[in-house]
Amino acid sequence: MQNKEHDDVKKEISTEELVAEEAVTPDDTAKSQEETSAEAPPQVDERDVKIEDLQNKLLRLQADFDNSRRRNNEEQTQLAGFVTVSVVNKFLKVLDNFERAEASIEKSPDSETIRIGLEKIHKQFEQALKELNVVEIPSQGEKFNPEFHEAIMRTENSELPEDTIDMVLEKGYKINERIVRHSKVRVVTKA
């Protein structure tokens, strides 16, 4: 009988030990996770690191592009201002001479002197245009070309070939190959 009691006590102890081992509190779980995480650092995916790096590079490139565009716009505005000032200065000299000519008309009734003064102003004006690379588009006696000419009128003229410009109503000009203003012309047609 003693053996039986001894076996029952042994079973009780074994069962109690088992229950004690299996009974885990939430604090124990957190402690075991902390121990695990303290032992091994969390896994970082290399792809996530590359994605973050590429996103940072993209943000820097976008900022650089925006800064470049802003600087470019500022430089264009400044350049346009310098060009405008340069052009205006060339024409202010001509304007000054026109004003002097007008003042001399009041003082001198001599029309020959006035004509000579106006011719000089005209040459000065043409020189200012030449310095700006502004060139007159040849039109009188030329074959009509819609790239350079604008036909305002048509006329019949048996002495000239068809599509020849026989009269220039308003001169056209270009800077290098860029048209500033088309020549307004009258063009010959055959009946």
Q: What is the pLDDT of residues 115-162, one digit of tens each?
A: 888 888 889 888 888 888 899 999 999 999 999 999 999 999 888 899
- Average of per-residue pLDDT values in the chain: 80
For residues 87-109, average pLDDT: 79
Q: Which of 135, 136, 118, 133 is nearest to 86 (CA)?
A: 133
Pick the CATH number of 134-191 from 2.30.22.10, 3.40.50.300, 3.30.70.270, 1.10.20.10: 2.30.22.10
Report the distance separating Cα 117 and Cα 98, nearest Å: 9
Indicate if the pLDDT at residue 45 is higher than 90: no
Phi and psi torsions of 168, nearest 5°: -105, 120
Where exactly are the structural domains of the chain? Answer: 52-132, 134-191
- How far apart CA 101 and CA 113 sit, in angstroms, is 10
Give the tens place of pLDDT for each residue, 167-185: 999 999 999 889 999 999 9
Residue 139 neighbours by CB distance under 10 Å: 21
Domains 52-132 and 134-191 share a fold: no
Indicate the Cα dihedral angle 139, 182, 170, 132, nearest 10°: -90
Measure the CA–CA gap between 142 and 185, rounded to whole angstroms.
10
pTM equals 0.54
Angle at 135 between CA 129 and CA 140, to 5 degrees: 130
The model's pLDDT over 66-79, given as tens digits with 9 standing for 90+, comes to 999 999 999 998 88
Cα–Cα dist 44/140, whole Å: 81
Any idea which fold 52-132 has? Hemagglutinin Ectodomain; Chain B (3.90.20)
